[in-house]
Chain A
């Protein structure tokens, strides 16, 4: 039984938590792709930005990161709106790939700005040590429960937004057919603004969760980019629910791949976790480039 409890406590649960974090980032990539038709390369750095904005309050005011989270979300959304206005809006009518280059530039600018303001050292939120709760053989850290529950709540909120509100439905309409949305009188720019607010806000929440779970450093956005893209491709890019499933799947795959499945050595060396995400992405591109959920509506 020891093996099973290790499997759950050291691989399955962390995989779920990482999966939640990936899901929060991948939703934004998928939504933005659906609305603006480009792969947003700076999205990982939006997560970094959220994590660092929270540090302002945890470090100087001694706040709990959970209390700083809403402010980080709002702050990141505002920065995203400003970046869109300055660097993406001029290319609305150009080919999507030019916007990808612009986002490539924004990625570097965001990262160097973060390095300039906060330095390059690894930082942590000072949460103090909390002992894991034990349920029989399960050892669950309170932060793991919080991350999973808050992610679930955010996904439910996103679902209600997309299925019940006028703006959410308009967002799906623009993603479905931007030209028809425009001639129907839908204010596409308003939809774009809300896409940034939601995408960047969820990314910031994911970034803060990374800080709560482990640590924060300026390059983490780059490390996140590959799993986020893999999650978005897996879920069928442009489909936010698919991105949630894709995020969870990539997170679980990465962690479970390091389990000693066939010998007493990790099946995949922990240093190669991002390669697992890449393999999943490549397999999807070969087998089913439209993603697992191509048939679903979003």
Chain B
């Protein structure tokens, strides 16, 4: 059984549909990557799942249960964590408080989980008392991912985690995604840096104009000449 199955999803904002019947799956403990040109609706599926875009048709199964239109806190309680692309930290809260907010639903034993996050993102250790809004983009991304990991989710959804980062940070973040995945967390990754993302992924989805264009193993997509020419920048 897939960890996450998005079936025939039609979703959008206001009266405008962005996704016109999209299928996406994440297998337990694997990484699925969504790539595609700007405006293809890559992020919309995640946003729709968390109620930030409207689901018009289709459904979402998590571990076989229908979770379409569940409120966000229920999704988080089931083990789905989501890191939005922008505004993904509480700017005026300290780094430690950001992590604590990730654990809002399960307040006990926070210290151990913060330690686990710090082990994954060592640069955060000395920033714990600093306001998250004062950090650099890369460090903020670490705080955001750390916050999402605080509830020890089964599925981590990342919306363009490397957008706007320097190459150095970019590599670090991809490296951490692999590390998180190796601890058994399924990952759904939306990325602009398609080649790098497919290189660490298992399943790949190419979306264009709100529909599935190509669906294959990530390795096959990387090898596919048509995909490479049209979507991976040659």
Contact residues, B87-131 vs A (CB, 8 A): 87-93, 97, 100-102, 104-105, 107, 131
Q: How far is the CB of A236 from chain B (nearest CB, A)?
A: 12
Q: How far is the CB of A187 from chain B (nearest CB, A)?
A: 6
- Whether A177 contacts B151 by the Cβ 8 Å rule is no
Q: List 6 A-B contacts (CB under 8 A).
A: A166-B104, A170-B104, A173-B97, A173-B101, A182-B50, A185-B76
Task: Write out the residue numbers on chain B whose beta carbons fall within 8 Å of the beta carbon of A179.
Answer: 52, 84, 87
Nearest residue, chain A, Cβ from B50: A183
Taking A176-B91, A181-B101 as given, write out 4 further A-B residue pairs in contact, using a Cβ cutoff of 8 Å, ordered by the A residue number: A169-B93, A169-B97, A182-B73, A186-B104
Per-residue contact bits, chain B 34-53, to A (CB 8 Å; 1 contact, 0 not): 00000000000000001110
Whether A176 contacts B104 in the complex (CB less than 8 A), given A183-B84, A187-B73, comes out as no
The answer to the question of B3 belonging to the interface, with a C-beta cut-off of 8 Å to chain A, is no
- Whether B92 contacts A169 by the Cβ 8 Å rule is no
The answer to the question of B147 belonging to the interface, with a C-beta cut-off of 8 Å to chain A, is yes
The answer to the question of B72 belonging to the interface, with a C-beta cut-off of 8 Å to chain A, is yes
C-alpha spacing A183/B49, complex, angstroms: 10
Using a CB–CB distance below 8 Å, which chain B residues touch chain A?
Answer: 50-52, 72-73, 76-77, 82, 84, 87-93, 97, 100-102, 104-105, 107, 131, 147-148, 151
The residue among B77, B93, B105 with the most chain A CB atoms within 10 A of its own CB is B93
Which one, A166, A172, A184, A297, contacts B147 given CB within 8 A? A184
Task: Write out the residue numbers on chain A whose beta carbons fall within 8 Å of the beta carbon of B107.
Answer: 166
Whether A183 contacts B97 in the complex (CB less than 8 A), given A166-B107, A177-B90, comes out as no
The answer to the question of A127 belonging to the interface, with a C-beta cut-off of 8 Å to chain B, is no
The answer to the question of A113 belonging to the interface, with a C-beta cut-off of 8 Å to chain B, is no
Whether A187 contacts B104 in the complex (CB less than 8 A), given A173-B90, A177-B90, comes out as yes
Q: How far is the CB of A166 from chain B (nearest CB, A)?
A: 6
- Whether A166 contacts B100 by the Cβ 8 Å rule is yes
Q: How far is the CB of A132 from chain B (nearest CB, A)?
A: 43
- Whether B52 contacts A170 by the Cβ 8 Å rule is no
Whether A173 contacts B93 in the complex (CB less than 8 A), given A182-B73, A185-B72, comes out as yes
Nearest residue, chain B, Cβ from A166: B107
- Whether B105 contacts A176 by the Cβ 8 Å rule is no
Q: How far is the CB of A165 from chain B (nearest CB, A)?
A: 10
Task: Write out the residue numbers on chain B whose beta carbons fall within 8 Å of the beta carbon of A177.
Answer: 87, 90-91
- Whether A186 contacts B73 by the Cβ 8 Å rule is yes
Task: Write out the residue numbers on chain B whose beta carbons fall within 8 Å of the beta carbon of A176.
Answer: 90-93
- Whether B73 contacts A185 by the Cβ 8 Å rule is yes
Task: Write out the residue numbers on chain A whose beta carbons fall within 8 Å of the beta carbon of B151.
Answer: 185
C-alpha spacing A182/B77, complex, angstroms: 12
User: What is the size, in residues, of chain A's interface with B at 8 Å between Cβ atoms?
Assistant: 18
- Whether B131 contacts A185 by the Cβ 8 Å rule is no
The residue among A180, A181, A184, A297 with the most chain B CB atoms within 10 A of its own CB is A184
The answer to the question of A298 belonging to the interface, with a C-beta cut-off of 8 Å to chain B, is yes
- Whether A172 contacts B51 by the Cβ 8 Å rule is no
Whether A172 contacts B84 in the complex (CB less than 8 A), given A166-B107, A184-B104, A186-B73, comes out as no
Task: Write out the residue numbers on chain B whose beta carbons fall within 8 Å of the beta carbon of A183.
Answer: 50, 52, 72, 76, 82, 84
C-alpha spacing A180/B76, complex, angstroms: 12
Task: Write out the residue numbers on chain B whose beta carbons fall within 8 Å of the beta carbon of A187.
Answer: 73, 104-105
Task: Write out the residue numbers on chain A whose beta carbons fall within 8 Å of the beta carbon of B131.
Answer: 297
Which one, B51, B87, B97, B105, contacts A180 given CB within 8 A? B87
C-alpha spacing A172/B88, complex, angstroms: 15
Nearest residue, chain A, Cβ from B104: A186
Task: Write out the residue numbers on chain B whose beta carbons fall within 8 Å of the beta carbon of A298.
Answer: 92
C-alpha spacing A166/B73, complex, angstroms: 16
Q: How far is the CB of B110 from chain A (nearest CB, A)?
A: 9
Task: Write out the residue numbers on chain A whose beta carbons fall within 8 Å of the beta carbon of B84.
Answer: 179-180, 183
- Whether A297 contacts B101 by the Cβ 8 Å rule is no
Task: Write out the residue numbers on chain B whose beta carbons fall within 8 Å of the beta carbon of A166.
Answer: 100, 104, 107
Task: Write out the residue numbers on chain A whose beta carbons fall within 8 Å of the beta carbon of B50.
Answer: 182-183
Q: How far is the CB of A176 from chain B (nearest CB, A)?
A: 4
Task: Write out the residue numbers on chain B whose beta carbons fall within 8 Å of the beta carbon of A182.
Answer: 50-51, 72-73
Whether A172 contacts B76 in the complex (CB less than 8 A), given A183-B52, A185-B104, A186-B104, comes out as no
Contact residues, A168-206 vs B (CB, 8 A): 169-170, 172-173, 176-177, 179-187
Task: Write out the residue numbers on chain B whose beta carbons fall within 8 Å of the beta carbon of A186.
Answer: 73, 101, 104
Task: Write out the residue numbers on chain A whose beta carbons fall within 8 Å of the beta carbon of B148.
Answer: 184
Nearest residue, chain A, Cβ from B88: A180
Q: How far is the CB of A173 from chain B (nearest CB, A)?
A: 5
The residue among A173, A183, A186 with the most chain B CB atoms within 10 A of its own CB is A183
Task: Write out the residue numbers on chain B whose beta carbons fall within 8 Å of the beta carbon of A180.
Answer: 84, 87-90
